[in-house]
Structure 1
């Protein structure tokens, strides 16, 4: 295993998480129960909605959202190509088609509402927006388009817990919001996710679909509150467990402070990197727009045009700095590039910008000196990659 001087991400865990997990083990009840209910309640309070369900991961959250909205064969879902593949795969697994849309540009790697509007057809049922890197999409434009065409909105807020758009929490502006608690996320439990919904009907349906379509839960029967159950839908097992929920409660208490530290680190990155020729800093002017707050999940940069990314990453690795790519565009994957269920035209900006994207380390435990080291290493790596010896 490489001993990174600065890893891409790191957990902010302490004795509180260990103690929370130990209490679950001591209780003898591991599957979804009271700690999950507490986690859902507290996360809902943080988002400003009572309609939150914890689930196994964000991928199943997305699938649950599409199924709950009735999306299936013959329908189309529009989503960005520059996202993790789960945003599209979850829709494909319903039998629907996916229409991939372009990004706004180098300054903002979010979904382009104008391209979404251009790609709507009579088969379009939903728009899946991705709040890339923790920054909000233009939800005013997206909601106006959805209202005009009577479309549902699914928010992939995997990067964006507690981020806002004009004072409203991301994940609560559309019909359904989906969150990730994967081990590199702002709120990390290992594997885990959540869905929030705009109304009681969607919330009730997703609650049923989350656990086999059963009318009572195992915990209800364990406590003697119920002795049998009916199955009223063909549901799935998308439940989270008590260990992850207990850790989630503790992590939720760290989330707001962690997001603020990420914001400070991002500002330092922008200051230190601003003078590097050809390097572009997406979202550098985000706060000047005064439209909301980011969760600052990722620190993306765009390398100078014409410079190959791989040698830069190799140079950074040699200097002990871990980097990554967010993301390989969906339309370039073997399956999605050949599938009849994926429409992939008009992605010129994605094609131009994705090969230049490089993700730098960002996590609350980073020190200012770590940012300075990453920035100096990137400047040297860019120089060495441009003039190999």
Structure 2
């Protein structure tokens, strides 16, 4: 493959969705039914998603963050309990632990080429107060689940899978999210399959999932839909909970999106391979996570690590001027003010994260979505190469 479109300026968005006429029709059906909160469409979505994962049950919720919060609540996390997780992730997993008075303990990643939590780091960070480990499948690629599962089991810890990037992807012989004790998914607008806002939870222990189902709706014994169908109005509150229910509108969209997911992933796979080929040829000093790897993936993000001494802000500005939208996944959580404050419960001052910190200012996320073409990929790499060349990093022409 050669670089193309050097003189054909275009606009390439960072992310896009596959919403189309089928989703519009499904939403119209829901609106016509006039039942808008969690009901039969949401139940059907749960059944279909669980089937796609190869499990018996799943619980739909209002967001991926809600899924993570319910996981922490279901485990009964108490003030002072520690949860080990990567710092290179979205802030939600640390936030839900801190909101319970728990301590997010940040672990380093394996390498720039494999930016998922390091099992060796996890093992070294376990203390008598450790209750759980969060494995985040960065960009839709599996973390080292078998090692993490063995460490968790040997130490009596829960393993939470943050599978926000990786719906219906396999790793360690199972669908990601179903290997550990609890799996959490996100259907945010930028995800491979979307409901606008939304999420899903699965759990190995049916009793844990039952508690999550109750807690997503105030710990109530009979939902609004149950009462509407039966005609009864009585109910009980058996647990403390929140309103993390899904909507029927979102669930209708999700059912269609689930059916589109396989085709979306095949398109992303082809685009990712095109990126890997071109980046290896034209930007050999950059590190591209999982380049050349063959494991299953959702191909959610096209992240790369820029060569050292490159001004990332300058690169992003140059790409923006050429119509290419970029982002950073992620600014490490331990670098945020909330988690650096001396009076906050966080272990960051106790342990350096050299791999994460060396990557932090060099991470760059390039556009990747199934509305792109390989010509778009070539244009992005061409403009990136030109930007790096102008900034004098010594990239080959």
What is the TM-score with the length of structure 1 in the denominator?
Answer: 0.96
- Kept after mapping to 1: 8 A contact 2:140/2:163: yes
User: Among residues 280, 285, 297, which one is paired with 1:278 in the alignment?
Assistant: 285
- Kept after mapping to 1: 8 A contact 2:17/2:193: no
Larger mean CA deviation between 274-283 and 347-356 belongs to: 274-283
Per the alignment, residue 379 of structure 2 pairs with 373
User: Among residues 306, 326, 329, which one is paired with 1:326 in the alignment?
Assistant: 329
CA shift, 1:225, in A, is 4.7
**How many residues in Structure 1 have an aligned counterpart in Structure 2?**
382
Cα distance in 1 for partners of 2:360, 2:154 equals 31
Cα distance in 2 for partners of 1:377, 1:251 equals 32
Cα distance in 2 for partners of 1:127, 1:233 equals 25
Per the alignment, residue 127 of structure 2 pairs with 121
Per the alignment, residue 342 of structure 1 pairs with 346
Residue 46 (structure 2) pairs with residue 43 (structure 1)? no
- Kept after mapping to 2: 8 A contact 1:315/1:384: no
Cα distance in 1 for partners of 2:311, 2:78 equals 40
Cα distance in 2 for partners of 1:190, 1:324 equals 20
CA shift, 1:355, in A, is 1.0
Per the alignment, residue 303 of structure 1 pairs with 306
Residue deviations 1:168-202 (CA, integer Å, cap 9, x gap): 10000011000000000011111000101102111
CA-based RMSD:
1.4
Q: SS of the counterpart of 1:274?
A: helix
Residue deviations 1:289-318 (CA, integer Å, cap 9, x gap): xxx401010000110111111000001001
Per the alignment, residue 316 of structure 2 pairs with 313
Matches within 5 A, 1:236-255: 236-255=242-261
- Kept after mapping to 2: 8 A contact 1:76/1:98: yes
Residue 69 (structure 2) pairs with residue 63 (structure 1)? yes
Matches within 5 A, 1:95-244: 95-244=101-250
- 4+ residue stretches of structure 1 with deviation over 3 A? none
Cα distance in 1 for partners of 2:355, 2:103 equals 22
Cα distance in 1 for partners of 2:10, 2:166 equals 26
Unaligned residue ranges in structure 2 (runs of 5+): 1-8
- Kept after mapping to 2: 8 A contact 1:315/1:385: no
Cα distance in 2 for partners of 1:286, 1:116 equals 24
CA shift, 1:263, in A, is 1.0
Q: SS of the counterpart of 1:336?
A: helix
Q: SS of the counterpart of 1:278?
A: coil
CA shift, 1:113, in A, is 0.7
User: Among residues 11, 16, 21, which one is paired with 1:15 in the alignment?
Assistant: 21
- Kept after mapping to 2: 8 A contact 1:51/1:199: no
Q: Is the alpha carbon distance of 1:4 and 1:340 closer, same or farther for their aligned partners in structure 2, counting shifts above 3 Å?
A: farther
- Kept after mapping to 2: 8 A contact 1:258/1:364: yes
- Kept after mapping to 1: 8 A contact 2:146/2:172: no
Cα distance in 1 for partners of 2:231, 2:191 equals 36
Residue 53 (structure 2) pairs with residue 24 (structure 1)? no
- Kept after mapping to 1: 8 A contact 2:59/2:201: yes
Unaligned residue ranges in structure 1 (runs of 5+): none
- Kept after mapping to 2: 8 A contact 1:56/1:238: yes
Per the alignment, residue 93 of structure 2 pairs with 87
